[in-house]
Each structure stands twice: as structure tokens, then as C-alpha cells.
Structure 1
Amino acid sequence: MRDPDPITAAISTRLEALQAAQQLSAWSMIVTFMGDAIGPRGGVVSAAALQGLMQRMGIGAGAVRTAVSRLSAEGWIERSREGRNSFYQLSGAVGETVRAAERRIYAASSLLPADTPRTLVIAPGPLPETALQALEAEGALQIASQVMLVFTRLDALPADLVHTGATLAEAPVILAGASMCTHIAAVRQADEIESLRQSYLPVAAALKQVPAPSPEDAMALRCLMIHEWRRVALRVQSIPADLIQPDDPEPATRALIAQIYAELLPASEAWLDDNATTPSGALPPPDARLASRFGG
């Protein structure tokens, strides 16, 4: 029996890892595919193309049908029929959420400029829920008990943060001491991101051995990679560039994901051209979002 080619082996390895971690969810994988591949190409795709790709990733037809029914019932996707063919698209509200998430997933960097303003919020006691929500929305960094660093000007703080009893102070310079470095590593998902980088180094090596993967394999590997990358990219804390630690693995991991993505793009887009359809025929060409991903 012939050994599988390096790309097939890479796909199998990633599938096994996701299954072992119980992260090979048909529901989530469908949303990943719709957002990553179909969003820039009109947003509508045939059920046959979706089922074919999911099957390549080890997700059976029954699991796909169950996931589609759940997504439809919960308002994530809209279904339509044209004759005997079914078509899917993300619902309007979900599509907006996915596009907002794309700005973080496909950004060239997660770092804020080094001159980003910053404000200390020192609370005398537990913050009210509205203030905590405002802090979370602002991407605040907790640097001590009830001490938060918000990356915005003092006069631009949300009203919910300006509550009675809190001390607010501009903090143009914050030195990252040992405890703060540890905290930054945690909120930057350092361990998880380094693990993901190590997992995809063999994929990059495989693409050097097989520079032209089959369209189906390229589309499957692209979907699997973005599925894994999305899970951590959306949880990475954005911080000013002067606070990043030398051993922070996120920039190198993002660069690796961007490199692999660019290498998979031509063949994966060819798979869409040959297999995915809309009610009116072929998918439209990709819009500008695709070309601009990862700073392209």
C-alpha cells in the first residue's frame, strides 16, 4: 500500500487532533466554511458542495443534515430551494457578526500602535456588571485586583466606566513587570497559540513537498486551519506593541497561518469554481475581502 502524500497525511493528523479534543463540530465547521470561503463569493452555496467538503473532513451526511437543521432553527443560516437543489447562506445578522470577526481573524497583526493611549481604572470594590461589560468591550487588560488598563484616552472612556468611586488616570507609560508579563501571556493565549504553531509547522513543510495540492485537499485543509485558528484568534487580547514580550508566539503563528493560507488559496478557490454553485449558476468571483486577508 502506498503511503499517503504529505497533504493527505496532514489533513488526517489535524482531523485526528480535532476529534481527540472533541472540536470536530459539524455545526462550527459549516459556519467556518460559510464565512471563510463562501462569504467573499456572494454568500450562497449549494448543499451538494457543502456536503462534499464536509465528507472530505470526515463529517458524514447525517451529521451535516442535523447541523444544518440546528443552524436553521437557531437563525444562523437560511435555506432555499431551486428545483431539487438546496442552497444555504448565513442569515443577515449572523453574516454581520462573522464579518466583524473576520477583522480579527485575518488581520495582519493583533498589536495596537505603541503610541496607543492608555488609562488606568482603579476600582475601590467590585465593578458593576455594566462597567465590566464596557471594560470587556474596550479590550481592557487587568493588571491587578480591581486595576484595569484600558487602551483609550481618559476622555474617551465609555460612560459605564466613569462610575462613582473609581480612580481614573492617564497612564502614558506602563512597564511590564514579571507578574504583568505572566498575565499578558495568559490573556494573549500564549500556550494555546504556541501549540497551534507547532501543529502547523508540519503542514508548512508538507506544502513544500507538494506545492500544488489537489483542489479538494486544499479546500479541506484551508477550512480546518481557519477553524482552529479562529478559536484562538478571537480570544487574543490586543495590546500596544511596546507591551508585547519577546517570546510571545502570536506574531509568528499569525505569519505561519497567513503563509499557509496564501499557498492554499489558488487550489481551494479552484475547488469552489468547480464544485460550488448558486441558484443562478457558478459562484461569483471573490470580492476585495479575500485579497486583503492577512494584509494581502
Structure 2
Amino acid sequence: MPSDHAPSVVAALAGLGGQRVWSLMVSLFGDLAQGQGDAIDGPVLSQIMAALDVRPEANRVALHRLRNDGWLQSVKAGRISQHSLTAQGRAESAAASPRIYAAPPDLTEPWQMVVTEENGRETDSALREAGFIAALPRAYVGRAESAAPTGCLALPGTPPPEWLRRAVEPAELEGDYDALLAALTALDAELPAPEQLTPLDVAVLRCLIVHNWRRLVLKHPALPGGLIRPEWPGYRCHLLVDRLLRRYPRPALQDLATA
């Protein structure tokens, strides 16, 4: 069973918004059971979701939705149901993992600015697909190694002014990143040593960290490190997410089953 630490973790992160049960479950399976053959026993899943303050009926509805969406599958092993990602679920989790679990960027990373001849939709789509971010009309920024479409002018980046750094930040997520930063900062200071948490505690903690980070970081392109302000809340969240996930490693599924 989860220890007395679980309620404080849930209280710190569960109030940030975007806590739809099926989406929490996506985060949980993507973190704990992404490998081929990985499965979470029904009683274990019920304990984790209960610790996340999810009602049993909401848990069942989320499972039903994700099975209908082709994202989860459930099989009986004796009297116990075992839930696992489908091939589609594993593929989608694997596609998102590089952004979710990436190490914080190097703030000296080289970058470039690409200038286009016109504001064409096809050029804009091609640049965005290549990882570039619109900074000004007809001007995009991206990593130095990213290949710009033919016909664009590529200029190597120099130490950027403050206004350009701010121009590429996702302003619409500023409040959400501020709230996540406050919650993660409190957790970083207050959480006990890893050995004081049960495997279920760690599963709950990681689910909430990954979920709240995932719902923000996947909403905008990755910023080139050389354009990131050290004080940007998104970057400071990234530092804390990385530190907390390394401090509290992913528990083995067999440890959860015997907890």
C-alpha cells in the first residue's frame, strides 16, 4: 500500500489542471510499462489510481476508453486482469518519450535563424516540421544542425537579445509553467529520501511528475538551448523534472506487484 507520503504528493500536483483520468493513465503506462511484454496487474493499477484520488468507476471508464481507442489491451491471468500497451500505445509512447525524458538542454547550444522569401503556408509547414520556431514574420529559429528548406537564408546565431529569447517562449503556457515550477520546487525540498518511499509511492510520484510535464512540454516545439533564458520557468521545470525522475527511479513492475 502507498505510505503516508502519497497524499501530500497528490495534493501538490493534482490541482494543476489537466488531470483527466484517461490521460493520467497514458502517463502511467508510458512511464512504467512501455516495454514489449510489460503489464500492470489490475489490483496494482487500482491501488495506484486510488492513490491518485481516482474513483473506481472513473478508473473503469478510462480503461474502457483506452481499450476502445486501441491504446491498451487487457487479458485475464487466472482471476487477475493484466493491462498492457498495444503496439499502437507503445509506438505513441516511444514517439513522445524523447521530449518527456530528454536531459535539460545546454544553454550554449548553437542555433540559427532562417529567413524566408515570403510567408507561404508550405514553407511555414516545412520549417516547423524541421523543428524551427517562428520568431518574427518570415524569420524562424532552430538548432544549428537543422536543415532549412531550399530557398531560405540561414544565418548562424550570435548571443541573442532578451527580446528574441522571450519571442520564442510559449507565452500561452507561462502561467502553467509557473504553477508547475512552484509545485516541483516544493516537492524537491520536502520529499523524503527514496528509500523512505514504497514502490507504489514512487509510481504515483513519477506518474504525476511525468503527466504534468508531458501536458506542457508536448504543446510547443523544443527551444534551441542557446535561445533559452536560464530563468524561464519552462527550463527551470525541466531541471527539476530531470532531477526528481533520476532521484526516484522507475520501480520494477514485479516490485509493484508484491508491494
Structures share a fold, TM > 0.5? Answer: yes
Of 87-96 and 206-215, deviating more is 206-215
SS state of the match for residue 73, structure 2? strand
1:127 aligned onto 2:121: yes
1:247 to 219, 231, 252: 231
Q: CA deviation at 1:260?
A: 2.1
SS state of the match for residue 152, structure 2? strand
- Deviation track 1:39-80 (CA, whole Å, cap 9, x = no partner) reads 258422222211221011111111111111111111111222
Q: Give the distance between the partners of 2:78 and 2:6, measured in 1 at CA.
A: 37
Partner of 1:218: 202
Please tell me whether Structure 1 or Structure 2 has the larger radius of gyration of its CA atoms. 1
Q: Give the distance between the partners of 1:210 and 1:53, measured in 2 at CA.
A: 18
Q: Give the distance between the partners of 2:175 and 2:166, measured in 1 at CA.
A: 11
SS state of the match for residue 66, structure 1? helix
- Deviation track 1:161-183 (CA, whole Å, cap 9, x = no partner) reads 44xxxx51120135534542321
Work out the number of aligned pairs and report it.
257
Q: Give the distance between the partners of 1:72 and 1:115, measured in 2 at CA.
A: 43
- For the Cα contact (< 8 Å) 1:219–1:264, is it kept in 2? no
> Could you list the runs of 5+ residues in structure 1 that have no partner in the other structure?
283-296
Letter in 1 for 2:76: R
SS state of the match for residue 196, structure 2? coil
Letter in 1 for 2:26: V
Q: CA deviation at 1:210?
A: 8.6
Q: RMSD over aligned Cα, in angstroms?
A: 3.1
Aligned positions of 1:2-13 closer than 5 A: 8-13=7-12
- Deviation track 1:140-185 (CA, whole Å, cap 9, x = no partner) reads 121212332344568x43xxx44xxxx5112013553454232123
Letter in 2 for 1:140: F
Partner of 1:290: none
SS state of the match for residue 102, structure 2? coil
1:141 aligned onto 2:133: yes
Partner of 2:254: 273
Partner of 1:46: 41
- For the Cα contact (< 8 Å) 1:6–1:209, is it kept in 2? no
CA gap 1:113/1:178 in 2 versus in 1, 3 angstroms: closer
Q: CA deviation at 1:217?
A: 2.5
1:35 aligned onto 2:30: yes
- Deviation track 1:82-139 (CA, whole Å, cap 9, x = no partner) reads 23322221111221221121111111124586335x35142424323xx443322222
1:206 aligned onto 2:190: yes
1:235 aligned onto 2:235: no
Q: Give the distance between the partners of 1:252 and 1:74, measured in 2 at CA.
A: 35
> Could you list the runs of 5+ residues in structure 2 that have no partner in the other structure?
none
Q: Give the distance between the partners of 1:210 and 1:148, measured in 2 at CA.
A: 43
TM-score by length of 2: 0.83
- For the Cα contact (< 8 Å) 1:140–1:150, is it kept in 2? yes
Letter in 1 for 2:120: P
Partner of 1:286: none
CA gap 1:62/1:126 in 2 versus in 1, 3 angstroms: same
- For the Cα contact (< 8 Å) 2:110–2:224, is it kept in 1? yes
- Deviation track 1:189-226 (CA, whole Å, cap 9, x = no partner) reads 55432331111111122214896133333321221111
- For the Cα contact (< 8 Å) 1:55–1:61, is it kept in 2? yes
SS state of the match for residue 134, structure 2? strand
Q: CA deviation at 1:228?
A: 0.5
